[in-house]
């Protein structure tokens, strides 16, 4: 790695990685994709493997670190494995890219905060309440210690065409059964397009140490389920909201808020925090 070259997208077969790689190509960048799936035209890279075995291309201008163990349950139940992928690997990869003069964009989450206040500022102290959030918080802090080469992009819930929870609701409703979405669990959904636009912009030019992408308000999962059920033509009685406590589900943490202060994205890129329903209305 050394002089300016293409953009390395690590985890290019993931939801966000694929969208970011496509966007960067669409605006004229050479994109080098990594994947652990051995899909065509990707470099194989398993972040859980020994870093000595990694074969990284030289001369990248920037690396966008999209690969992660994103399941909060996997982070809780298999912390050693998840930590290798979510903390040790991005920190080492970032170290190598920064040492060679490249920029790093690391994807993080509102879950580095506890969600006690809405629109958490980027500068607020991290206070994660889940294993996943703690890993992201540690990786952020260690990567940012490399200095100006690094930008962290924190995202709230990103929705492409769907989400596993949404597919679950649709399948259950399709069988004529009731769904029990949480009435006290919030999300601040943004479209995959918005997330990819901000991440691609951060890969092209350093826009600051931390950028936050957020919808302009939170929605309860129960309200999202009700809206989608109506759109899909299911009877409203089939949506019966419950609180997390009533459901008996053991979540590590139920935040009161998930929105982030996205004023840097507005000021630097002219992108306002969208209405949260805009992302829901893009669900297939
Ligand atoms: N989606 C959101 O709402 C959201 C919100 C906040 C932050 N983020 C962050 O944004 C990033 C991308 O999220 P996403 O939603 O696109 O996740 P995703 O669809 O689950 O994709 C994650 C990618 O990471 C790869 N990966 C997992 N373990 C790996 C390993 N050991 N070595 C190499 N690659 C590995 C996966 O590979 P396979 O394709 O082989 O499974 C997959 O391509 C993550 O850092 C996530 O924490 C996402």
Give per-residue pLDDT as tens, 165-209: 999 999 999 999 999 999 999 999 999 999 999 999 999 998 999
195 neighbors 157 (Cβ within 8 angstroms):
no
Our mutation pick for probing the ligand 1 site, out of 10, 11, 15, 51, counting the most ligand atoms within 8 A of Cβ, is 11
Average confidence (pLDDT) over 2-26: 90
Q: Is the CB of 13 under 6 A from ligand 1?
A: yes
Going by CA atoms, what residue is nearest to atom 1 of ligand 1?
Answer: 158
- pLDDT band for position 2 (50/70/90)? very low
Q: Return the CATH class of domain 7-158+190-215.
A: alpha beta
Average confidence (pLDDT) over 108-124: 98
pLDDT number for residue 32: 97
Alpha carbon of 178 to ligand 1 centroid (Å): 30
- pLDDT band for position 3 (50/70/90)? very low
Mean pLDDT score of the chain: 96
Q: Which atom of ligand 1 is nearest to the CA of 159?
A: 3
pLDDT number for residue 284: 83
pLDDT number for residue 161: 85
Q: Is the CB of 85 under 6 A from ligand 1?
A: yes
Average confidence (pLDDT) over 215-233: 98
Alpha carbon of 106 to ligand 1 centroid (Å): 12
Average confidence (pLDDT) over 49-64: 94
- DSSP tag of 103: E
Sheet holding 210-213, edge to edge: 43-44, 31-35, 7-10, 62-65, 103-109, 150-155, 210-213
42 neighbors 13 (Cβ within 8 angstroms):
yes
Our mutation pick for probing the ligand 1 site, out of 9, 10, 14, counting the most ligand atoms within 8 A of Cβ, is 14
Distances (CA, A) of 22 to 161, 186, 271: 16, 30, 20
Residues near 29 by Cβ (< 8 Å), separated by ≥ 6?
Answer: 6, 7, 203, 204
CA atoms 40, 80, 91, 273: torsion sign = positive
Average confidence (pLDDT) over 248-254: 95
169 neighbors 238 (Cβ within 8 angstroms):
no
Residue closest to 185 by CA, chosen among 103, 135, 267, 258:
258
Quote the pTM value. 0.97
Domain ranges of the chain: 7-158+190-215
Q: Which atom of ligand 1 is nearest to the CA of 157?
A: 3
| Alpha-carbon gap, residue 115 to 113, rounded angstroms | 6
CA atoms 53, 59, 60, 61: torsion sign = positive
Going by CA atoms, what residue is nearest to atom 12 of ligand 1?
Answer: 66
Residues near 184 by Cβ (< 8 Å), separated by ≥ 6?
Answer: 220, 243, 244, 254
H-helix or E-strand spanning residue 151: strand 150-155
């Amino acid at each position: 790695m050394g002089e300016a070259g293409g953009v390395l997208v690590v985890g290019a077969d993931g939801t966000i990685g694929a969208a970011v790689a496509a966007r960067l190509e669409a605006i004229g960048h050479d994109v080098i994709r990594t994947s652990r799936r051995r899909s065509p035209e990707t470099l194989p890279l398993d972040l859980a493997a020994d870093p000595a075995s990694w074969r990284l291309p030289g001369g990248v201008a920037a690396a966008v670190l999209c690969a992660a163990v994103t399941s909060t349950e996997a982070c809780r139940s298999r912390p050693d494995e998840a930590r290798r992928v979510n903390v040790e690997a991005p920190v080492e990869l970032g170290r190598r890219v920064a040492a060679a003069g490249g920029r790093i964009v690391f994807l993080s989450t509102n879950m580095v905060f506890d969600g006690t206040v809405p629109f958490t500022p980027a500068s607020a102290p991290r206070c994660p309440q889940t294993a996943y959030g703690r890993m992201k918080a540690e990786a952020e802090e260690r990567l940012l210690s490399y200095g100006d080469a690094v930008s962290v992009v924190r995202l709230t819930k990103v929705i492409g065409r769907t989400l596993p929870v949404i597919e679950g609701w649709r399948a259950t409703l399709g069988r004529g059964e009731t769904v029990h979405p949480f009435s006290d669990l919030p999300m601040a959904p943004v479209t995959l397009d918005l997330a990819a636009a901000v991440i691609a912009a951060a890969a092209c030019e350093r826009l600051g140490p931390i950028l936050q992408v957020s919808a302009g308000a939170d929605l309860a999962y129960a309200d999202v389920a009700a809206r989608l059920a109506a759109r899909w033509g299911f009877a409203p009685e089939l949506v019966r909201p419950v609180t997390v406590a009533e459901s008996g589900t053991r979540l590590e943490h139920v935040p009161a808020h998930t929105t982030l202060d996205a004023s840097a994205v507005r000021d630097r890129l002219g992108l306002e925090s969208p209405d949260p329903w805009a992302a829901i209305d893009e669900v297939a």
